[in-house]
Amino acid sequence: MEMLKTLYKTVGVVFLLVLTVLEGQSLTATGTGYGLTKDAATEQAKRDAVEQGLGAYMTSTTTVTATSIEDNIYSKAQGFVKSFKVTKESQGPDGNWEITIEAEVTDMIDQVMADEAALQTLLNAMNRPRIIFMVREENLIDNTSTDFAETKLLAMFYEKGFDVVDRQLVQALKGEADYTQALAGNVAAAAKIASMLGAEVIVIGTAKISSGGKFGPMTSGQADLNAKIIRADTGEILAVVPQARGKHPHISPSTAGVTAVNKAADALGKNIISQLVIKWSTQQSNFVKVYIVLKGADFMSYMTFESFLKAQTVSGIRNAYAKSLNDGVAEYEVEFEGKSQALAMGLAQTSPDGLNFRVTGLTGNRITAEVVQ
């Protein structure tokens, strides 16, 4: 058991390498991973490929210890597993999987954004999060309600291969208090909207289209946009884009405004994608925060379950914190090296002495369980 805990202590995905090491080049490396499922083993194999590739480079250029390699890989990481293929897989008598892969690592932001396959690799690793856009637009040129910015963002993310929630499903909630509050910038309301529609991420923002004045027959169209990117299951603000601007002159004031807002939305969209790529890549290479809700708990089971998590009986747990106990509902925050599904699987297959529980649900990074009497 201790050997397995050591072997997949680094469960989690992968994806980061040192930019100063790669300097724009791709690197091929082999990695091996172990896990309760094929997916968990594959994720560790990706991470191992990064460690092996970086270790090979570092030992050829400088003298370092194994500990310093492991400690520095992620603190200086700025790379990505662009593609990989499984070269060997087997399942042991204990049910655990061993997966070996060959992975190609590339620089992160520019290449991932430019390479559709690389971006899809990251989206797949994140379980293809669904995204919603809600942009409140003020058009001071036409003095009418418009949605040019939101339309541009939806088209842009759809073309990039993101799983975008249909706008009609969002607009069907018009008149609901949460819809109105979300459009007004309320983060909690936006998270509720996203959860209602089965999305993991929601982007809320504002757009303002105005005239910068006339220059002869031409009107200078101007647009200012901003946005917040919110994680649905926790209400966490993943990133903020405080401002994106666009300008465009045209003989038609309306055309000037539309073109300006499309330019601003394009800049905003690229900024959002960039921040999500950084956030998700860093999250995958280090650890994710998973929230566990245990129902039917009393004080003793509350403390027993915390000790069980802190003991790291389930491989991949880095740390665990008991957050609250109210009316029989206990909440915990876990730092986990891997996907939430792997943690849920581990919890479902183990239990502490004196406490029986079963996993009952999994949504995003939130696991629900209940005490079994």
Indicate the CATH number for domain 288-371: 3.30.70
Task: Give per-10-residue mean pLDDT for the chain (373 aa).
Answer: 42 35 59 77 75 49 38 38 84 82 67 68 82 96 93 94 94 93 94 93 96 91 95 87 93 95 95 84 71 94 92 84 93 86 88 88 88 88
Distance CA 217, CA 215 (A): 6
Domain 2-125 has CATH 2.60.40.4070: no
What is the maximal distance between C-alpha atoms in the chain?
82
- Sequence-ordered strand ranges (E) for 140-193: 163-164
329-336 sheet: strands from edge to edge: 317-326, 329-336, 288-295, 366-371, 357-363
| pLDDT of amino acid 106 | 57
Distance CA 104, CA 106 (A): 7
Single out the residue of 34, 31, 41 nearest to residue 7, CA to CA: 34
Give the H or E element holding residue 106.
Answer: strand 97-107
Distance CA 11, CA 364 (A): 18
3-state secondary structure of 251: coil
- Sequence-ordered strand ranges (E) for 95-200: 97-107, 130-139, 163-164
Distance CA 169, CA 158 (A): 16
Q: Domain residue spans in the chain?
A: 2-125, 130-284, 288-371
Radius of gyration over every alpha carbon of the chain, rounded to an integer in angstroms: 24
| pLDDT of amino acid 325 | 94
* Amino acid type, 176: E
Please state whether 296 falls in left (phi above 0), alpha (psi between -120 and 50) or beta: left
Give the H or E element holding residue 323.
Answer: strand 317-326
| Cβ 15 vs Cβ 284: under 8 Å | yes
Q: Which fold has domain 130-284?
A: Rossmann fold (3.40.50)
- pTM for this prediction: 0.63
| pLDDT of amino acid 50 | 67
Residue owning tokens 């003095």:
143
| pLDDT of amino acid 163 | 94
| pLDDT of amino acid 324 | 92
